Chains A and B, each alone.
Chain A
Amino acid sequence: MRYLGLTDADRRAMLAACGAADIDALYRDVPKSAVLADPLDLPLHAGEMEVERALAALAACNLSAADAPCFLGAGAYRHHVPAAVDYIIQRGEFLTAYTPYQPEIAQGTLQYLFEFQTQVALICGMEIASASHYDGATACAEAALMARRIAKRSRVVVSGGVHPHYRGVTETYFRWLGDGLDLLPPSLGDEDLAACIDGDTAAVMVQNPDVFGRLRDLAPLAEACHEAGALLIVAVAEPVSLGLVRPPGEMGADIVAAEGQPVGNGLNFGGPYLGLMATRQRFVRQLPGRIAGQTIDADGRRGWVLTLSAREQHIRREKAASTNSGLCALAFCVHMALLGEEGFRALARLNHARAVALADALAAVDGVTVENDTFFNEFTIRLPGPAAPVADAMAERGILGGVPASRLFPGVEDLADCLVVCATETVSDDDIAALTAALKEFV
C-alpha cells in the first residue's frame, strides 16, 4: 500500500523489538467483545488509476459552473483565480504544515497570516483583523457573541437583508443563550433597524451589499447604534465589493464579519470557505480566533508568533475559541497580493460593470423587473410567476441562471417570484445573451 511506510519484514522486526507476539498483543486493552472478528464490508485498497477513474465518474455527473453561463451568487462567488494562487497553496511547506505552535520553524505561515490580517483590515477599513474563521456564517455568529461580551447586553438585532445561512448559524449558536436574537423578516421593502434598538441591544447586524444585492449608507445606523450604546456589525458576503464600495469601517462599523471565499478560493460546492473578522483596536481582546503578532527573537530579529493566546486551546481551555481556515487564508493572501491596489479596484469595477450590463439587459425583457436601485455585482429580479421552476428549466438547458429567493427564504410569499442574479468578471456578453434569451422563453 503506497502510503504506508512499513514492510512486512519491518513489522515482524518491530513487533519483536516491542516484545509483542503479534499486533493483537498491542491492542490487548480493547475489550474482547468489541474487537471486530471479520473485516468490515468495505472495498479493498485501490491504485491511483482506479480511484481517479471512480471519482472522475462522479465529477462528470455534475454540471460544472465553468461549463455553463453562471449567474449564481448568494454567498458564493465565482471569480477567476490566478494560476499562481493554486501553485503557492500546493507547496508542501504550506499545505502539509500544522498550526504554528513552534514559531521558529513556522515563520512562513505566521508571516502570511500577519499579511492576511493587514489585508483584511485594509479592505474593511478597520484597524485589526483575526487570522481566519470557518466561513462567513460562523464569523457572523462569532461577531454577535463578541458584541454581547463587549456591550454586556444580551440582544442582537439581525436585519432581514442578512444572508439566511448567516442568520441561521447565528440562531443556532444563540439557541441556548436565552432570548437573544431579534430576526427581522426578509423583505424587499424598507426596514427601520434604528427603531429596534433599546437599552438591552448589544448590536445590530446588517449585510452590505445585502442578500438581495442592495447597498446602503450605514453611517446613520452606526450613529443610532452608538448613541444607544450598541455596536454595529456589518456582514460582507462579497469582499470584492470592497474595492469599489465604501468600506464598513468608514461608515462606522464596530465589527465586520465576512466571507473570504471570493478572493483566491474556488466555489468547491460550498466549502471549505474562509471567515473574515475585523474590528477596532480597542476590542482586540474580545476578538475570537487566532491572531498572529509581530515580535523579535533572541537575536533581535523581527519575527511572528500566535499571540493573545488565551484564545488558543493550549491555554485556558474553557475560554478557547479557535476556528480556522489557514490555507484558504493563504489563497486569499496570494490573490490579494497579485491584485494589489490597482488590480483589486479594477476587479471590483469590472464586476460592477458586468452587473450593470446584465441589469440593463434583463430590464429590457418583458415581464422581468429589476428590484434594485443600487447594487454591486448582484441584484434581484422579479418574474411574473414563481422563480424556482424557471431556474430549474434554465438548468436543464445548461444555464445556471440565478438563485431563486425561495431557496434562500422558503415560504416567504412575496419573494417566491424573485431570482437573485450575479455577474462577476467571468460572465461574458454571450452568457448575458443566453440568460436573456432563456428568460424570454421561460417567462
Chain B
Amino acid sequence: MAEGETITGNRALQIEEPLLFEMDAPGQCGVDLPDSGPFEDRLGGLERRNPVGLPGLSEPRVIRHFTRLSQKNYAIDAGIFPLGSCTMKHNPRLNERLARLPGFAQLHPMQPESTVQGALALIDTLADWLRTLTGMPAVAMSPAAGAHGELCGTMVIRAALDARGEKRSTVLVPDSAHGTNPATAAMCGYAVEPIPSNARGRVDLALLKERLDDDVAAFMLTNPSTCGLFEDEILEQAEAVHAAGAYFYCDGANFNAIAGRVRPGDLGIDCMHLNLHKTFSTPHGGGGPGSGPVMLSEALAPFAPLPWLVHGAEGLRLVERAEGEAARAIGRLKSFHGQFGMFVRALAYMMSHGGDGIRQASEDAVLSANYVLAGLEDVMSLSYPGPCMHEMLFDDRFLKGTGIATLDFAKAMIDEGLHPMTVYFPLVVHGAMLIEPTESESRQSLDVFIRVMRALAERAKGGDTAWFTGAPRLAPRRRLDETTAARQPVLRWLPEEASAEKAAE
C-alpha cells in the first residue's frame, strides 16, 4: 500500500460511513416499545401489505453513524464561515436550551388560547422588538423563511394594489438583488424587470426614475446590497417609488449591518422581511428551518396573512379567520402560527444583546468587514471602493491570466481549514467573491483569515495553477462530479437487485 492509504479507506478521524440502508441488521432496533396487546383494528381493510424496507439498527450504531457523518461537515462551531449575505454568526446555546423548555417545546398549536398565554406573549414581545428595531408599525410573524417572507410581502403589496383598484404588472429589482427575489415576484403574477447598477455598485437612480410609472407595483431593493454597500440614494429612491404610487420593498437579509443604528422605517420602506436565522442568530441547521417575519407599513398592515395576534379583553388571542379586523388578510401562508421555536431563540438572542448590544454587533460586523477589506484590497480585486457594510465584494480580476477561477480559489481555502466565501454571487461582477466575517470573529481569527487569503492570492499570482485546480486534497471528498449527478440522477438508495435492474434499463 502506498503511504497514506489504509485497509479501510478511513483516515484516522475521517471514517468512511456506509448508508443506513447498507447497515441493516434485521432484528436490531433502536427503540423499545410496549406491546400493543390484542385489539380489533379499525383500518377498514386498508392495512399495509408490504414491508416498508427500513433497515434495523441498534441505538449505538445509529449514534455512531450520525456522529461520523457530522465529522464530515464544516460548521460555524468549527471555524470562520464567511459566506457573504448568509450571515453565519455564532449560534448561542442558551437559545437552544430555552427553546426546549417544556412550556414552549411541548405546546400543541391547537391548545385553547387560555393555556398558551405565555407563548402568545413571547410572540408579541418579539414582534415589539422587531417593530422598535425597524421603526415599522406592523409585522407578519408566520412566514417560514426569507424566501417565504418575500412571497408574503409581495402578496401583501398585490392585495393592497388590488384593494386600490389598480392593476400593475411589474416589479423592479436591482441586478444585484438577493437570489430569490425574481422567483417570488413571478409567483404573484408580476413580471420582474432588472434595474442596472451604476459604476459605484448602487442602483442607478436616473434609470430607476425613468422606469417608474403606473405599471410598477413595487421596487424590491436589498439594502445594504449584496455588493456590501449601503444604498446612499435610498431616500431619493423612496421618494421616486412613492411618487409613482408603487411600494418600496426591502429585502432585510442584510439588516445585520444596520440594526440598532438605522431604522428601515425612516428610509421610506413599506415592507421588509427579516431573516431571524441571519440577523438574530437562529441556527442555519444545514439548510433550515429559518424564520422570515415581514415588517409592514400602516397602509399594508391590513393585508397581513393569518393568523393575527391581537390583544383582547381576556388576554392575547389569535385571529385565524379572514373576518372582522382581519377581513382583508391575504389568507394563510403556513400551518399554525409560524416558526415558534425560532421565535424563542431570536428573542433570547435579542434580550442577551439588548438594544446596546444589537447596535454594537452591527458595528462590529461592519468594522470586521472593513478590516478584512483593508487587509486584502492590495492583493485581491475589490469590485467597488469602500467603506463597505458587513460584507465586501471582490471579483476575479486579480486571477486574470493565472488559469485559476474563483471556484478553484475557493476550493484551495477548504484545504486551509476555511469555509469559502459566497462565490459567483452577486452576478453583477465576474467571478464574485462575497466575504462576510460577522461580529462573532475575534481579531485573531480575522488575522488568520487575512494571512491565509493573502498567501493564497500570492500563490495564485505566482502561477501555481495546479495547486488550485486540484484542490481540495484534504477534505473528506475531493471535487464531486456534479454533471453526472444531474444527468443520471441517483436520488435514493435502492436494494442491490433493484439498482442493477435500473442500470440495465
Contacts and interface: CB of A to CB of B under 8 A. Distances in A.
Given A84-B62, A270-B340, A61 B367 contact: no
A155 interface: no
B472 A104 contact: yes
Contact of A64 (B83, B107, B366): B107
A353 B38 CA distance: 8
A382 interface: no
A410 B357 contact: no
Interface string B136-154: 0000000011011000000
A98 B284 CA distance: 6
A403 B91 CA distance: 36
B356 A64 contact: no
B65 A266 contact: no
Interface stretch (A29-37, A224-232, A430-438): A29-37
B334 A324 contact: no
A396 B341 CA distance: 25
A323 B147 contact: yes
Contacts of A99: 284, 286-287
Given A268-B99, A269-B116, 18 more contacts: A3-B439, A30-B261, A31-B232, A31-B234, A42-B350, A46-B354, A62-B103, A62-B107, A92-B77, A97-B73, A137-B335, A166-B335, A169-B335, A243-B52, A270-B336, A293-B490, A320-B183, A340-B28
A58 B330 CA distance: 30
A103 interface: yes
B286 A326 contact: yes
Given A25-B387, A166-B335, A400 B115 contact: yes
B347 interface: yes
Interface in A304-333: 304-305, 307-309, 313-314, 317-328, 330
B29 A340 contact: yes
Contacts of A293: 485-486, 489-491
9 contacts: A4-B364, A5-B368, A36-B262, A102-B414, A104-B479, A135-B334, A271-B144, A330-B66, A340-B54
Given A270-B340, A343-B33, A55 B258 contact: no
Given A78-B106, A84-B63, A128-B492, A62 B69 contact: no
A327 B348 CA distance: 20
B414 A314 contact: no
A105 B73 contact: yes
Contacts of A34: 234-235, 262-263, 266-267
B463 interface: no
Contacts of B320: 407, 410
A180 B363 CA distance: 49
A54 B464 CA distance: 57
A11 B109 contact: no
A317 B179 contact: yes
A42 B33 contact: no
Given A45-B353, A105-B475, A26 B411 contact: no
Nearest to A291: B491
A189 interface: no
A50 B94 CA distance: 11
Contacts of B348: 51, 55
B48 interface: yes
Contact of B492 (A20, A118, A163): A118
B401 interface: no
Contacts of A199: none
A337 B33 contact: no
**3 pairs of A and B residues whose beta carbons are closest in the complex:** A270-B336, A59-B103, A61-B118
A123 interface: yes
Pick from B83, B351, B414 the residue with the most CB of A within 10 Å: B351
A350 B32 CA distance: 12
A267 B108 contact: yes
A105 B74 contact: yes
A395 B115 contact: yes
A271 B261 contact: no
A127 B90 CA distance: 39
Contacts of B332: 137, 165, 168-169, 171-172
Contact of A123 (B52, B63, B188): B52
